[in-house]
Structure 1
Amino acid sequence: MKKIVELKNATVQVNNGFDEMKTILDDVNLDIYEHDFLTILGGNGAGKSTLFNVIAGTLMLTSGSIFIMGEDVTHLPAEKRAKYLARVFQDPKMGTAPRMTVAENLLIAKYRGDKRSFSPRKIHAFTEEFTSLISKTGNGLEKHLETPTGFLSGGQRQALSLLMATLKRPELLLLDEHTAALDPKTSVSLMNLTDEFVTGDKLTALMITHHMEDALKYGNRLIVMKDGKIVKDLNSTEKEQMQLSDYYQFFE
């Protein structure tokens, strides 16, 4: 199986302000394979966001190495890793440009990573394609193609962020608690949409969640983190045998 991401002895230490070094990622070894959909559970300070940040390149390793698609990216900054990755953040405002319309945001996503030229945008040539795309969200977004995204609801903005992140089929999709800021009903519909995109398009994805139910329901692998370490890495068969109560024991 093709490895998409490989972390070897990945460690991050930071100064806690009292001239003491604190380890926030502790000698982590992790292989992520093509079409893996990993869900990540862990309490506050477990190292979940640190793991995402070192993969994305927004935080550098103190020691260890990281490979994406076989390339050693350990010392590459985030912008050099962007060709491999797409990320949906917890805050719905993070993934879209508020003053640009839904169509303009989608156009940016469509040409992400391509060489820029000074040709006209020809945005109307994509109206049919974009309308068809956003009608998949099932939340009325197709009526707002010409609406600035700043006027959309949080759920609509997250659905648009997800569409933008998956439009170019990234090698790795990072879902950073992307349903946490939404109400329960909207969160459920966005998770259904996420699963449809990830499994339907055979994407490779990593999802941090605080919802135990989502960790049980979605993905083919589950990682549990504690104190900067991976303490469990369960495959789909092992996951199916777990009860909700088993998960709670990880955090006691």
Structure 2
Amino acid sequence: MKKIVELKNATVQVNNGFDEVKTILDNVSLDIYEHDFLTILGGNGAGKSTLFNVIAGTLMLTSGSISILGEDVTQIPAEKRAKYLARVFQDPKMGTAPRMTVGENLLIAKDRGEQRPFSPRKIHAYKEEFSQLLTRTGNGLDKHLETPTGLLSGGQRQALSLLMATLKRPELLLLDEHTAALDPKTSVSLMQLTDEFVRDGRLTALMITHHMEDALTYGNRLIVMKDGKIVKDVSRDEKVQMQIADYYQFFE
């Protein structure tokens, strides 16, 4: 099976300002395979976001290594890893440019990870393609192709962020608590849309979540983190046997 990401003894240590070194990712080894959909659980400070930042390249390892598609990217910065991965953040404002229209945001996403020369906008050439894509969200985004993104609701902006992240198929999709800032109804619909995109696009995805129900419902593997370590890696076969009460036991 094709290996998308390989972390070997990945460790991150930071100085906490009092001449004390704190380990926020502790000797983590993890293999992520093609079409894996990993849900990641853990309390505050467990190391979930650190793991994402290490994979994305926004935080460098103190020791250990990370490879993406067999390439050692341990020392490669985030902008050069963009060709491999896309990320949807917790804050709906982070994934989109507020003063640009929905169409303009999608046009940028279409060329993610590539050099973009200065050239006239050609949104009209993609109008039909973008409109059909926006219809999939089911939240009226298809009527807002010319609307500045900053005028959209949080749920619409997050759905647009998801579309942008998957428009040019990434080797790895990072979902960083992407439903946490939404109301329960919007969160449910966005999770259903996310699952549809991951399945239809045969994507490889990692999702941090605090919603036990989402961790139970979605994904083929479950990672539980605590104190910067992976304390549980639950396989597909184990996961289908589990119930919500089993998930809460991880935190007792």
| TM-score, shorter chain, exceeding 0.5 | yes
Secondary structure at 2:199 match in 1: helix
Task: Tell me how far 1:82 sits from its aligned partner.
Answer: 0.9
- 1:216 paired residue number: 216
What TM-score results when the alignment is normalised by the length of structure 1?
Answer: 0.98
Which digits, 9 at most, give the CA deviation of each residue in 1:37-86, with x for residues without a partner?
00000000000000000000110111100000100000111111111010
- 1:96 paired residue number: 96
- The equivalences for 1:121-200 within 5 A come to 121-200=121-200
- 2:13 paired residue number: 13
- 2:242 paired residue number: 242
Secondary structure at 1:232 match in 2: strand
Secondary structure at 1:174 match in 2: strand
- The equivalences for 1:104-115 within 5 A come to 104-115=104-115
The number of aligned residues is 252
The percentage of counterpart residues that share the same residue type is 87
Pair 1:73-2:73 in alignment: yes
Task: Tell me how far 1:226 sits from its aligned partner.
Answer: 0.5
Secondary structure at 1:59 match in 2: coil
User: Structure 1 CA distance, aligned partners of 2:119 and 2:26?
Assistant: 49
8 Å CA contact 2:175, 2:205 repeated in 1? yes
User: Structure 1 CA distance, aligned partners of 2:206 and 2:118?
Assistant: 36
Pair 1:41-2:41 in alignment: yes
Moved more, 47-56 or 121-130: 121-130
Task: Tell me how far 1:113 sits from its aligned partner.
Answer: 2.5
The runs of at least 4 aligned residues of structure 1 exceeding 6 Å deviation read: none
Amino acid at match of 2:157: R
The gaps in structure 1 that reach 5 residues or longer are none
Task: Tell me how far 1:119 sits from its aligned partner.
Answer: 3.3
Secondary structure at 2:203 match in 1: coil
Secondary structure at 2:165 match in 1: helix
Which digits, 9 at most, give the CA deviation of each residue in 1:191-250, with x for residues without a partner?
000000001110000000000000000000000001101011011110111121111111
Secondary structure at 2:125 match in 1: helix
- 2:56 paired residue number: 56
Amino acid at match of 1:155: G
8 Å CA contact 2:82, 2:112 repeated in 1? no
What TM-score results when the alignment is normalised by the length of structure 2?
Answer: 0.98
User: Structure 1 CA distance, aligned partners of 2:141 and 2:128?
Assistant: 14
User: Structure 2 CA distance, aligned partners of 1:72 and 1:55?
Assistant: 11
8 Å CA contact 2:83, 2:114 repeated in 1? no
CA RMSD of aligned residues (A): 0.8
Secondary structure at 2:96 match in 1: coil
8 Å CA contact 2:6, 2:66 repeated in 1? yes
User: Structure 1 CA distance, aligned partners of 2:243 and 2:114?
Assistant: 46
User: Structure 2 CA distance, aligned partners of 1:150 and 1:249?
Assistant: 41
Secondary structure at 1:224 match in 2: strand
Secondary structure at 2:136 match in 1: helix
The gaps in structure 2 that reach 5 residues or longer are none
8 Å CA contact 2:40, 2:206 repeated in 1? yes
